[in-house]
Amino acid sequence: MAEHALTQPGEASSETSGLRSIASDFASDRQAFRHVSWGKAMMWVFLLSDTFVFSCFLIAYMTARMSTTVPWPNSSEVFALTIGGTSFPLLLIAIMTFVLISSSGTMAMAVNFGYRRDRRKTAALMLMTALLGATFVGMQAFEWTKLIHEGVRPWANPWGAAQFGSSFFMITGFHGTHVSFGVLFLLIIARKVWRGDFDRERRGFFTSRRGSYESVEIMGLYWHFVDLVWVFIFAFFYLW
User: From CA 194, how far away is CA 82, in angstroms rounded?
Assistant: 42
Do the beta carbons of residue 208 and residue 43 sit within 8 Å? no
Task: Indicate whether 134 pLDDT > 50.
Answer: yes
| DSSP reduced 3-state for 111 | helix
| DSSP reduced 3-state for 139 | helix
Residues near 66 by Cβ (< 8 Å), separated by ≥ 6?
none
Task: Indicate whether 236 pLDDT > 60.
Answer: yes
| Residue 85: predicted pLDDT | 85
Q: How far apart are the first and last CA of the chain?
A: 69
Task: Indicate whether 162 pLDDT > 80.
Answer: yes
| Residue 5: predicted pLDDT | 46
